[in-house]
Amino acid sequence: MHHNSAHRRRRKTTASSIGRLLRWASARRRAASGLMLRGACYGAGTTAVSLIAVWAERHI
């Protein structure tokens, strides 16, 4: 471990960290929205199958 200040790395400012986070999020926005759409479709399909199963139990 170095105690000399010349060996320490300076942390980037909060503004640059926020900018980096926003760039990261915008680059992955399309992938995230695709995954959310896929999840919604899986949920809708599961709900439809469950409702059909409940209807079939009551009518058979």
Which residues constitute the domain of residue 54?
A: 5-59
pTM, entire model: 0.57
- Mean pLDDT value across the chain: 86
- Phi, psi (degrees; rounded to nearest 5) at 9: -90, 140
The pLDDT tens digits of the residues spanning 21-41 come to 888 888 899 999 999 999 999
Q: How far is CA 20 from CA 1, 9, 11, 27, in A?
A: 28, 18, 13, 11
The encoded tokens of residue 56 equal 């079939």
- For position 4, what pLDDT does the model report? 60
**3-state class of 16 per DSSP?**
helix
Give the chain's domain count.
Answer: 1
Average pLDDT over residues 51-56: 97
- For position 11, what pLDDT does the model report? 60
